[in-house]
Chain A
Amino acid sequence: MVSATKPEMPVSPRTSARMATSSVGTTVLGWLAFVSLVATAVLGLVVSPRDVVTGDAVRFLYLHVPVIWVAYGAFISCAIASALFLWKGKSRADRGRHLDRVAGASAEVGVVFTALALITGAMWGRITWGVYWQWDARLTMTAMMFVSFLGYLALRRLPTEPSVRSKRAAIAALVSSVNLPLVHFSVDWWRTLHQEASLSVDEAEITGNMYSVLLFSSVAFVLTGIWLVAHRYRVIRLEEIRDDEGLELAIAARRAEAGVD
């Protein structure tokens, strides 16, 4: 509908050339991230030596650890943006739209990376522990974080008034964040009481080359994460503009109709 009426549609003053989803900065960042990801695959699969204790399973280290760091970072960014939205949003010129977009974009990237962390963690666990899953505090908390933020994203997709939706989403993000330590603590306590074997028994000893590869792949995934959040942010912004203009068009159409009658 929007594209059909595009020719006579005036571009609103807020829309400028900078609005498309890439800029010079993010293009450079995107290529850097892409090249470093390719390099990570080569380093992790070919260059990195086998670990003395865990053998080739250590290659999962370069995926799993950076991926979960990006996920944690994204959720922390979502929580901070949500808190700032609730605290300062009203007094800002844009009514906190910017913070809301940061929170939404971060949360989505965080969910994707948490899913990847859970998958790679399960595969890694299958090789080293013999099982896909262990009920330890960190794993359980990560799984809960994943479903909590899936719920958060569902909340953001609801067809309600944007300001109401943003506020509810921000509160949901903060409640989930407050709750995660409680999950961690209670599971930790539970497993300790049951005297389960610790997971750190045959963890790889990270030394020399492995350490550099881990560092490199962390940088690669962090760059990728930032690039993804930046682009997701811009897509959210474009969607908001489309929704606003769709509304304006609908109102204009109503007015025209009324005028004809």
Chain B
Amino acid sequence: MIRDALLIARKDLLIEWRSRVTINQVAPLGLLILIVFAFAFDANRNLLTKGAPGLVWVGVLFAGVLTVQRSFTIESADGITDALRLSSISPVAMFLGKAAAVGLQLFVLEIVLVGGAVVFFDSRIGDPVLLIAAAVTGTGGFSAIGCIYGAMSLGVRVRETLLPLLLIPVVAPILLAGTRAFERALDISTQAGWNWVGLLGVMWGVYLAVGTLAFGPLLEDG
């Protein structure tokens, strides 16, 4: 099953790599979000530095919705879902594979966004280990729950608007916990940061469990 999951992840990443949509469109969009925030806050450097963790996560949120959408568009476009169902790959492996592929893309995106925050918002990375841990657990949870909703909106014509409406309220706690952990890692607050990483880990586990249970029924005759 792990091998099948890796196979799916590899397939998704290969498609992404060949089309370069994430690199050429989603990542620049994330940076653009950071720049637009600077306009919105009148380039007030203090405010931007203080808000950087939240702004980075908002960027991840929007870019993440696009990445999930993209990941399931490539499935439905060529009828791959049916093909995969006919092959002996289990839905659980499909779920884990897709979540891993989305998570890896988002993680790369987060590195770009944190880099953007360092350049544009004058953020200082005080605790790189905490930063990476929060990024990994946060994106893990996000991609897991994102893939559940991605499968839910498969084959739906209004997906572009439906997916964000369904997904954003559900990922709100990830945004909150991720922001708090980043605040500590970027030396903005002195509150404990690892608690939040723990919470992100718990959410990741919950969403993985939910996805493992729900992905099969979602793909059946859908």
Q: Which residues of A contact B (CB under 8 A)?
A: 86, 144, 147-148, 150-152, 154-155, 158-161, 163-164, 167-168, 171-172, 174-176, 178-179, 182-183, 185-187, 189-190, 193
CB-based contact A148/B170 at 8 Å: yes
- A86 / chain B contacts, CB cutoff of 8 Å: 217
Among B151-210, those with CB < 8 Å from A are 152, 155-158, 162, 165-166, 168-170, 172-173, 176-177, 180, 191, 195, 199, 203, 206, 210
CB-based contact A179/B173 at 8 Å: yes
Determine the distance from Cα of A148 to Cα of B176 in the docked complex, in whole angstroms: 17
CB-based contact B222/A147 at 8 Å: no
Q: Could you tell me how many residues of chain B have their Cβ less than 8 Å away from some Cβ of chain A? A: 31
Within the complex, the shortest CB–CB distance from B206 to chain A, in Å, comes to 7
- B148 beta carbon closer than 8 Å to chain A: yes
Within the complex, the shortest CB–CB distance from A198 to chain B, in Å, comes to 19
CB-based contact B210/A183 at 8 Å: no
Given the interface pairs A155-B152, A155-B162, A182-B206, the reply to whether A175 lies near B176 with Cβ below 8 Å is no
- Closest residue of chain A to B199, judged by CB? A186
- B118 beta carbon closer than 8 Å to chain A: no
- B214 beta carbon closer than 8 Å to chain A: yes
- B94 beta carbon closer than 8 Å to chain A: no
- B145 beta carbon closer than 8 Å to chain A: yes
- Closest residue of chain B to A193, judged by CB? B191
Given the interface pairs A158-B158, A190-B176, the reply to whether A163 lies near B170 with Cβ below 8 Å is no
Q: How many A-B pairs fall under 8 Å by CB?
A: 80
CB-based contact A161/B221 at 8 Å: yes
Most chain A beta-carbon contacts within 10 A, residue among B148, B166, B222 = B166
Determine the distance from Cα of A176 to Cα of B173 in the docked complex, in whole angstroms: 12
Contact of B162 among A147, A151, A161, A182 (CB under 8 A): A151
- B218 beta carbon closer than 8 Å to chain A: yes
- Closest residue of chain A to B154, judged by CB? A168
CB-based contact A178/B176 at 8 Å: no
- B214 / chain A contacts, CB cutoff of 8 Å: 171, 174-175
Determine the distance from Cα of A29 to Cα of B169 in the docked complex, in whole angstroms: 36
- Closest residue of chain A to B166, judged by CB? A151
- A163 / chain B contacts, CB cutoff of 8 Å: 221
Q: Could you list 27 A-B pairs, sorted by A, with CB under 8 Å?
A: A144-B169, A147-B165, A148-B170, A150-B165, A152-B166, A158-B158, A158-B162, A160-B156, A167-B220, A171-B148, A171-B152, A171-B218, A172-B152, A172-B166, A175-B149, A175-B214, A176-B169, A176-B170, A178-B206, A182-B206, A183-B172, A183-B173, A185-B199, A186-B173, A187-B173, A190-B180, A193-B191
- A174 / chain B contacts, CB cutoff of 8 Å: 210, 214
Q: Which residues of B contact A (CB under 8 A)?
A: 145, 148-149, 152, 155-158, 162, 165-166, 168-170, 172-173, 176-177, 180, 191, 195, 199, 203, 206, 210, 214, 217-218, 220-222
Within the complex, the shortest CB–CB distance from A158 to chain B, in Å, comes to 6
Contact of A189 among B172, B199, B221 (CB under 8 A): B199
Interface of B is mostly: helix
- B170 / chain A contacts, CB cutoff of 8 Å: 148, 175-176, 179
- B210 / chain A contacts, CB cutoff of 8 Å: 174-175, 178
A147-B165, A164-B222, A179-B173 known; 5 other A-B pairs, CB under 8 Å?
A86-B217, A158-B156, A167-B220, A183-B173, A186-B199
Determine the distance from Cα of A155 to Cα of B210 in the docked complex, in whole angstroms: 19
Determine the distance from Cα of A237 to Cα of B99 in the docked complex, in whole angstroms: 38
- Kindly list the 4 A-B residue pairs having the minimum CB-CB distance in the complex, ordered from nearest: A151-B166, A186-B173, A147-B169, A151-B165
- B158 / chain A contacts, CB cutoff of 8 Å: 158
Determine the distance from Cα of A154 to Cα of B152 in the docked complex, in whole angstroms: 12
Determine the distance from Cα of A152 to Cα of B169 in the docked complex, in whole angstroms: 11
CB-based contact B169/A151 at 8 Å: yes
- A186 / chain B contacts, CB cutoff of 8 Å: 173, 176-177, 199
- A190 / chain B contacts, CB cutoff of 8 Å: 176, 180
- Closest residue of chain B to A167, judged by CB? B217
CB-based contact A167/B162 at 8 Å: no
- Closest residue of chain A to B179, judged by CB? A190
- Closest residue of chain B to A165, judged by CB? B222
- Closest residue of chain A to B191, judged by CB? A193
